[in-house]
């Protein structure tokens, strides 16, 4: 079972969640920042994609630029070394090859409030994956204490458990014993 976990991260919280998901998934999980992800190959049984929630949804070029500029000017949080103005997860998903029947999951990081208040990037990720033919069976949000983080207590362990559950569900979906 091979999973490709593609993420975008501004402050490192979403990267940490992606790595925890991979640890829970176990052997066969490959974690890549969106800039290095490329297109999934035919060996990928499960595509997992996620990013931070900005302005009620997925990041945009403008929201990334504002975050980077704000961190540089105000010293609000340390920007992840891989965070750049572009390309982001939204563009990577736009360029994703069509894969009817591909199996996927979506996740995000966001402040621990109702999704009606904060929005959720996972919803947009799932919608775009479906647009490219993927069956999105799972979505999840992981919580940060503030916009810059840190992750709320217990979220990395919850991400590991979700990764393990995704492996079990993907194996069941594929009919592999």
Angstrom distance (rounded) from CA 1 to CA 25: 9
Residue 101, pLDDT > 50, answer yes
CA angle 110, 111, 113 (to 5 degrees): 115
Parallel/antiparallel/unpaired status of strands 103-111 and 46-52: parallel
The CA distances from residue 125 to 24, 59, 90, 134, 168, in Å, are: 21, 10, 8, 11, 22
For residue 69, the domain's CATH number is: 3.40.50.360
Could you tell me if 91 and 25 are in contact, meaning their C-beta atoms sit under 8 angstroms apart?
no
- pLDDT tens for 18-29 read 999 999 999 999
- pLDDT tens for 37-81 read 999 999 999 999 999 997 776 776 665 666 666 666 666 667 666
pLDDT at 177: 45
Range of the domain at 167: 3-174
Q: What is the pTM of this model?
A: 0.90
User: What is the count of structural domains for the chain?
Assistant: 1
């Amino acid at each position: 079972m091979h999973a490709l976990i593609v993420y975008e991260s501004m402050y490192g919280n979403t990267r940490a969640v992606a790595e925890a998901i991979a640890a829970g998934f176990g052997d066969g999980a490959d974690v890549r920042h969106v800039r290095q992800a490329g297109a999934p190959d035919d060996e990928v049984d499960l595509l997992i994609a996620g990013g931070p929630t900005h302005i009620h949804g997925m990041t945009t070029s403008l929201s990334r630029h504002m975050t980077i500029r704000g961190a540089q000017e105000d010293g609000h949080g340390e920007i992840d070394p891989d965070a750049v103005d572009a390309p982001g997860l939204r563009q990577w998903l736009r360029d994703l090859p069509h894969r009817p029947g591909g199996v996927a999951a979506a996740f995000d990081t966001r402040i621990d409030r109702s999704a009606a208040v904060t929005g959720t990037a996972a919803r947009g990720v799932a919608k775009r994956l479906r647009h490219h033919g993927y069956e999105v069976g799972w979505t999840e949000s992981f919580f940060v204490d503030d916009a810059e983080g840190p992750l709320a207590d217990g979220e990395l362990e919850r991400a590991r458990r979700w990764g393990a559950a995704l492996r079990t569900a993907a194996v069941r979906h594929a009919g592999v014993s």
